[in-house]
Amino acid sequence: MPSSSKNSIAEKGDLPYPDAETEYNSVTGENEHDDHESFKEYEYDITHKPHRTPFYRRRRVIVTCAVGTVIFLAIFIPLLIFVIIPKVAQSLLNASSMELKQLNMTNPTESALTVSVAAQVGGIPKIFSADLEFTEKIIVDWKGQSIGAMELSPVQVKSGKGEITEVTGFTIMNKDAFAAFVKDMWSAEMTKD
């Protein structure tokens, strides 16, 4: 009977010792009362930082960059169009050269004459098309000496070249240098024939 009494006690749930004395053996061999609780504590002990978005994807940075870009372009584009490009174009036009192809002199006087000019303006980059306006008289040099000056009307320059065909007045600035120029041109014309 003693064995049957033990079975009946186990079936009823009455144990010969209290529940607090009951030991549970963990798989790792440690005797802990609540393995699940210790695992939860371990899990929450490690701090997990949330994934932060990179600074360049934050709304404040994007808005600041967009506003800065708009302000920069609002200042730079008019500056480029109205200041930088005209200055560059003017400096390129100032460095241009004019080659006289033909110069016919008529109606000479002691201080002036009438010339018909056929010339070509060059030395300008092909990217520019411009109206070349002569704001001052054109000074004609020969062998390092200024011989005279003439006025020319505006010239249209396209693809880096501009043609001049015009009849205008020529004012003699240095009579001796002009006389040497005419003499040299006359002798060159005579030897050519």
In this model, does residue 26 exceed pLDDT 70?
A: no
From residue 32, alpha-carbon distances to 21, 122, 167, 177 in Å are 12, 99, 116, 120
Asked if residue 118 lies in contact with residue 165, where contact means CB atoms within 8 angstroms, the answer is: yes
Q: Is 179 left (phi over 0), alpha (psi -120 to 50) or beta?
A: alpha
Give the pLDDT score at 162: 85
Give the pLDDT score at 10: 47
Asked if residue 115 lies in contact with residue 97, where contact means CB atoms within 8 angstroms, the answer is: no
In this model, does residue 186 exceed pLDDT 60?
A: yes
C-alpha 34/C-alpha 169 separation (Å) is 116
CA-based nearest residue to 144, from 180, 111, 115, 113: 180
More confident residue, 93 or 112: 112
Asked if residue 181 lies in contact with residue 140, where contact means CB atoms within 8 angstroms, the answer is: no
Q: Model-level pTM greater than 0.75?
A: no
* Per-residue pLDDT band at 111 (split at 50, 70, 90): confident
In this model, does residue 66 exceed pLDDT 90?
A: yes
For the segment 120-130, the average pLDDT, to the nearest whole number, is 79
Task: Give the pairing of strands 97-106 and 155-157.
Answer: unpaired
Local structure of 76: helix, strand or coil? helix
C-alpha 193/C-alpha 191 separation (Å) is 5
For the segment 65-80, the average pLDDT, to the nearest whole number, is 96
Sign of CA dihedral 158, 164, 166, 168: positive
* Per-residue pLDDT band at 1 (split at 50, 70, 90): very low
Ranking 27-31, 84-88, 90-94, 174-178 by mean pLDDT, the lowest is 27-31
Per-residue burial over 77-116, b = 16 or more CB atoms within 10 Å of its CB, e = otherwise: eeeeeeeeeeeeeeebbeebebeeeeeeeeeeeeeebebe
% of residues, the chain, pLDDT over 90: 15
More confident residue, 182 or 47: 182
